[in-house]
Amino acid sequence: MIDRFIGPGATPAEMWLQFLPAVIAAIAAPLYALTLPHDWTPLQLGLIALLGLDCIGGVLTNATTTAKRWYHRPGQGWRQHLAFVSLHIVHIGLVALLFRGGDWSFFAVVSGYLLVAAIAIVRSPLYLQRPVALGLYGLALLGDRYLLSPTLGLEWFVPFLMLKLLVSHLLAEAPHHPEVVEQD
């Protein structure tokens, strides 16, 4: 079952790299929120933990060569990648509803940008996808910083979600096997 999320054949090093920081994030994110002057509900703290786990784990998992082989295998085209990205609109909706008091303009702006950016990346020629993704990620950081008001306790959410999806997941890269000797 786990192979469907991280790709089949992950090495022990990849497993540690994916799961240890994700678990740490699931613990650290709600602990950070508790230091803020806000009365959090158990539902909010639980969602903060899950978002921390998913965002940090997703950035790292989607960057592994095992995940690259899995998510960019034959039969996985732009439709499958956009479907994967679209699933994460639920994350944005939950943040808008439970942490921003039903801020649907936040939902529309972040979701709309995510989808437009994802389409631009997957429809770009392969040799331009990396600079397009990084440029759009940079714009997302600027927009999050200067156009949106921060989400208390989740100031990290938009940057990590965009990193996970636009840079880690969507970019097709040559997946190297761990047996390949690195050249100096």
Confidence (pTM): 0.92
The pLDDT tens digits of the residues spanning 129-138 come to: 999 999 999 9
pLDDT at residue number 67: 92
pLDDT at residue number 172: 87
Cβ(150)–Cβ(143) below 8 Å: no
The per-type count for the chain, helices as H runs and strands as E runs, is 9, 0
Going from N- to C-terminal start, the domains of the chain cover 3-169
Q: Can you tell me the distance from the alpha carbon of 43 to that of 55, in angstroms, rounded to the nearest whole number? A: 18
From the CB of residue 24, how many other CB atoms can be counted at a distance below 10 Å? 13
The pLDDT tens digits of the residues spanning 102-112 come to: 999 999 999 99
In which residue are the tokens 């509803």 written? 97
Q: Can you tell me the distance from the alpha carbon of 144 to that of 49, in angstroms, rounded to the nearest whole number? A: 21
Mean pLDDT of 1-30: 92
Q: What is the mean pLDDT of the chain?
A: 93
Mean pLDDT of 83-92: 97
Question: 113 exposed, middle or buried (CB, 10 Å; 0-12, 13-18, 19+)?
Answer: buried
Q: Can you tell me the distance from the alpha carbon of 44 to that of 128, in angstroms, rounded to the nearest whole number? A: 39
User: Looking at the predicted structure, is the pLDDT value of residue 181 above 70?
Assistant: no
* Reported confidence tier of residue 177, pLDDT bands at 50, 70, 90: low
* Reported confidence tier of residue 6, pLDDT bands at 50, 70, 90: confident
Q: What percent of the chain has pLDDT over 70?
A: 95
